[in-house]
Structure 1
């Protein structure tokens, strides 16, 4: 029972850490994509950025979520919204995942776990680390305007499009 309370407390504190980012500038990052090219937050200035974290390449929910973003990519692009998937998988793993699914958007490798720790989405221990399925919506000025801490791989891509449309009108 004591262990269960400790685990629950840790999970709750991680969720609170992630929520505190909303309304704040997104953390600067410099991460390689599936081709080894470094991407920085500054590269996305002037665009909406969907920074979506997912646990592991080539797994059921992660594959479904990536496909949904892929299938709506044209709409995202037309609306000036960039998509970047992030996990702690390697550049090589991202390359294979991207090629297998024919993904037209960026996958960032946070193998050093820096950004995942900063945003409070890192789970597991040591080599068994993975990110939660969470998304941060970053506005064109570089501020986090929404944090999705509960994501349905089947509905998320559509939900984000609707939220950007709503926030753009505000």
Structure 2
């Protein structure tokens, strides 16, 4: 029941939130904000760990909720295609390490989930919904190129077909990047 309530509130807030973003919002071509966050096992993962590689960084509201599970499992089910495109997938939410560990184990996710419990990294990507009484990551994704620049920004994500869009865009970005 708790997950249903959270899903309802997150969906309502997404629907009601304005579609415009602040002028200082990140743009494609900008340097990706750096991060140093613990993964599900407590190991610190940094953007600099992926220098020279393509990264798909996706933010999501909450572990083990319907939309977030759909999105995570879609990345899982397409991981071989993403690996073939030499891309690393990283999920980020405000959930803690233990929650990430359980979510990763339950759905056999073959990529790291980073615990941004304070929301600082999520905020640096302008992907934080802060309602004072509750904070969570908005469902947004970023493709980061090998030079650490934002190659593609997804501010509106439909978990049912997002990964397909990422794969197609990644292919086009890599072709034009060569």
- Preserved CA contact (<8 Å) 2:26 2:126: no
Cα deviation, 1:48-106, whole Å, max 9, x if unaligned, reads 10110000001000000000000001111121100001000001100000000000011
C-alpha distance in 1, partners of 2:85/2:164?
13
Structure 2 residue aligned with 1:26: 32
Unaligned residue ranges in structure 2 (runs of 5+): 1-12
**Does the residue aligned with 1:154 lie in a helix, a strand or coil?**
coil
Unaligned residue ranges in structure 1 (runs of 5+): 1-6
Structure 1 residue aligned with 2:113: 107
Aligned residues: 162
2:139 to 125, 133, 136: 133
C-alpha distance in 2, partners of 1:31/1:17?
27
1:125 Cα shift?
2.6
**Does the residue aligned with 1:86 lie in a helix, a strand or coil?**
strand
1:16 Cα shift?
3.4
1:92 to 92, 98, 104: 98
Relative to structure 1, the CA distance from residue 137 to residue 101 in structure 2 (aligned partners, 3 Å threshold; closer, same or farther) is: same
